[in-house]
Structure 1
Amino acid sequence: MADSGITDAARADFDACLADADEDAAIELAVGLVASGVSAEDVLLRLVAPAQVRVGERWESGEWTVAQEHAATHVSRQTVDGVASAARGTARSPAGAGSAGRVLVACSDGEWHVLPSHILTEVLRLRGFDVRSLGGSVSPQGILSEVHQNGPDVVALSCTLPWNLPLAHRQIESCRWAGVPVITGGKGFGPAGTWAYTLGADLYAADARDAADALLRRWPPVLRGVSSVQADAVDAYAALVRQRPGLLAHMAPALRDVCPGMHGAPGVEHEEGTGFLGRLLDSLAAAVYVDDERVFTRHLAFVRTYLSARSGDSRCLLAMADVLADRLNGSPRALDKLSAGRRFLVEGEDASHRPG
């Protein structure tokens, strides 16, 4: 890939701006790169986006607090706006796009990680598309209303958290009923967009550049996705949703008993109680919905890393799996995914105790 003109020094300086929550300096650096001849698209995708990934890694590792992560994310969003403003009016519309290419950008229902969709919106605009962005956590009804009122040629759907997959499916189905193709993006859709295609999406793109390239290669896009979600998986998912309040009530005292150190531990307070347990249940339910244990095991891997970085006891995850197993005897699909999660945790525990 050709050199973008963004140096390691510029990346380090931008990281420092995010660490200091220095909005003015971050925008000045990024806009200065555009003024020096670096394409706005490269600044968005090779400076801002990778820096934001590192922000998430610093939070996950315990290096940063939630407040620091939120402050840095705000700076990133303002920087995207600054770069877009600096580049506005300079991009040429590629053949096949322009005013004829209308894209509706939205986050999946329940998804509040807005920055990826924000970057996508601006990259598509730089390529000449007419883009309308709805922001975070858009309901299926909201998308359907926008489709009917504004007639986009394609809907671009972003999802970062896999437990939102069942909600994303409703959005994709709403678009399909309206005859509008859906292009998806974000790690919530799984490796190479595996779960996006399970839900019936027409296309998956690894990042904003891939999305723009894919749309320009074949414009207008066509409906070709077919959902492979099974009816009995939907039923099993619905049963878990109905059981959720009772399961949480059953798990909460067990969590206090087996992991008393979690409560009040620095850095984990926002993941306590129903938040911590609820995400375990939501990821299990999503794994049942798309019939893929990796939705659950990937979440377990994240939580294990998260707790370990904060001196939490990740063995509580095994205890929670055992508590859940006692209450899910009537759901073979849920037990299957739960068993896969337990095997994953046991293998991780065994590996951590192996010498050398």
Structure 2
Amino acid sequence: MTVTTELDRERERLWSAVAGGDEFFATATVLAAVDAGLDPESALLDIVAPVQARVGAEWATNSISVAQEHTATAINDRVIAALAHHPAARREPHLGRVAVACVDGEWHALPARLLAEVLRLRGWHVDFLGAQVPTPHLVAHLHQRGPDALALSSSIPTRLPTAHATITACQATGMPVIAGGAAFGFDGRYARLLGADAWAPDARTAAELLVGGLASPSATPTHSAVEDLPHLVDQEYTLVSRTAAQLVRTTLGEVPEVAGYTARQRQHAAEDVARTVDFLATALYVDDDTLFTEHVRWHAEILTARAIPTAVLLTALSALRAQLTDFPRAARMLAASIRCLQEETT
């Protein structure tokens, strides 16, 4: 029996448990694997992490509900907690101290939690601050505890402007920042753009980078985002962000299907349009058309899985474009996303 086959079986067992809402079976499954000789780090990254990724994928295809997704995530979090107390996972800190936190507004804490546990297993003293950490409180923690580095996590791209402010503020204290999570791009492009001292695609890489040491940034006064991102001088990001509520209202009024929606459906439609405007604003912040186009493609897949025609999204994008004709970058991004959807549906 190969190791890969056994890991596949353990993942299936854990998936069956979390999909069925069985916390006790889920915990017993992972702990039994460790008792049988599986390294705790592998249990975290080769069993729990892939199962959590599957949870997200199953939600995206409408195979599980939001409630089931939340339940599964909560169970995986409890599994990680149980594993942290297993005798095989006990390590004496000897490498220094690392703070691990999620960007303010980022509620997906499980990737950061996985990193925190991997770092503990590697011998770090870890301050795990959890989800949605306001930047002033994070800076205060850095001053009080004086860790060797900050690991900053974000899964939601719309948190990138906040991540930029957080990175800048923390570096102003002389603290090196390593960024990770889907929000920073599959290749770390946004981590580099926003000035992070390092980027890691996964927990193992982050641990290796931290052991190698990160150079401390020069402690300089906090500077403006425009100094790092000169394209922001056109004010498109600021104006789209400030008028988001009006953009959403007008767009909904231009989508004929909304008139026949129930109150709950209208609420979901408003949330979808608001999310699209947020992604547009973020794409303007980092000046990357691809960020917005990829979101639109993902959004179309979600709608299709829920039996909502792509034409509804196309109408909404066209309505947004009509409102932003005086914003060259925004109009360009909207036009590109419309073309992308039209090509995929023809």
What TM-score do you get using the length of structure 2 for normalisation? 0.91
2:159 is aligned, of 148, 159, 164, to: 164
CA contact (8 A) 1:6 1:47 kept: no
**By how many angstroms is 1:8 displaced?**
2.0
1:108–1:61 Cα change, 3 Å: same
> Which structure 2 residues correspond to residues 170-249 of structure 1 after superposition, within 5 A?
170-216=165-211, 218-223=212-217, 228-232=228-232, 235-249=235-249
Structure 1 range deviating more: 203-212 or 334-343: 334-343
**By how many angstroms is 1:167 displaced?**
1.1
> Which structure 2 residues correspond to residues 307-326 of structure 1 after superposition, within 5 A?
307-326=303-322
Give 2:50's aligned amino acid. Answer: P
Q: Secondary structure at the match of 1:334?
A: helix
Aligned to 1:84: 84
CA contact (8 A) 1:103 1:155 kept: yes
**Runs of at least 5 residues in structure 1 that lack an aligned partner in the other structure:** 351-356
Give 2:120's aligned amino acid. Answer: R
CA contact (8 A) 1:106 1:133 kept: yes
Q: How many angstroms apart in 2 are the aligned matches of 1:309 and 1:260?
A: 22
**Alignment root-mean-square deviation, CA:** 2.3
CA contact (8 A) 1:14 1:51 kept: yes
**By how many angstroms is 1:17 displaced?**
0.3
Q: How many angstroms apart in 1 are the aligned matches of 2:155 and 2:42?
A: 22
1:106 is aligned, of 85, 101, 109, to: 101
> Which structure 2 residues correspond to residues 16-165 of structure 1 after superposition, within 5 A?
16-87=16-87, 90-91=90-91, 98=94, 101-165=96-160
CA contact (8 A) 1:6 1:46 kept: no
Whether 1:329 and 2:325 are equivalent positions in the alignment is yes
Give 2:135's aligned amino acid. Answer: P
Q: How many angstroms apart in 1 are the aligned matches of 2:130 and 2:182?
A: 17
Give 1:130's aligned amino acid. Answer: H
**By how many angstroms is 1:229 displaced?**
2.2
Q: How many angstroms apart in 2 are the aligned matches of 1:62 and 1:14?
A: 20
Give 1:190's aligned amino acid. Answer: G
1:6–1:41 Cα change, 3 Å: farther
**Runs of at least 5 residues in structure 2 that lack an aligned partner in the other structure:** 219-224
Give 1:288's aligned amino acid. Answer: L
Give 1:232's aligned amino acid. Answer: L
What TM-score do you get using the length of structure 1 for normalisation? 0.89
CA contact (8 A) 1:244 1:281 kept: yes
**By how many angstroms is 1:119 displaced?**
0.6
Q: How many angstroms apart in 2 are the aligned matches of 1:155 and 1:15?
A: 32
Structure 1 range deviating more: 12-21 or 322-331: 322-331
Q: How many angstroms apart in 1 are the aligned matches of 2:240 and 2:136?
A: 23
Q: Secondary structure at the match of 2:130?
A: coil
Whether 1:294 and 2:287 are equivalent positions in the alignment is no
What is the number of residues matched between the two proteins? 338
1:21–1:288 Cα change, 3 Å: same
CA contact (8 A) 1:160 1:187 kept: yes
Q: How many angstroms apart in 2 are the aligned matches of 1:90 and 1:187?
A: 29
**By how many angstroms is 1:283 displaced?**
0.3
Aligned to 1:284: 280
Aligned to 1:353: none
Q: How many angstroms apart in 1 are the aligned matches of 2:266 and 2:205?
A: 35
Q: Residues 222-266 of structure 1, C-alpha deviation per residue, up to 9 Å, x if partnerless?
A: 439x985225267321111111121112112223x14557x459x
Give 2:330's aligned amino acid. Answer: A
Q: How many angstroms apart in 2 are the aligned matches of 1:140 and 1:15?
A: 35
Q: How many angstroms apart in 2 are the aligned matches of 1:280 and 1:17?
A: 34
**By how many angstroms is 1:6 displaced?**
4.3
CA contact (8 A) 1:91 1:126 kept: yes
Aligned to 1:354: none
Aligned to 1:252: 252
Q: Secondary structure at the match of 2:310?
A: coil
Q: How many angstroms apart in 1 are the aligned matches of 2:233 and 2:335?
A: 17
**By how many angstroms is 1:89 displaced?**
6.0
Q: Secondary structure at the match of 1:302?
A: helix
Q: How many angstroms apart in 2 are the aligned matches of 1:163 and 1:87?
A: 40
Q: Secondary structure at the match of 2:42?
A: helix
Q: Residues 63-115 of structure 1, C-alpha deviation per residue, up to 9 Å, x if partnerless?
A: 1000110110111000010111114663365xxxx2x5211111112111111
CA contact (8 A) 2:104 2:133 kept: yes
1:184–1:102 Cα change, 3 Å: same
- The sequence identity of aligned pairs, in percent, is 36
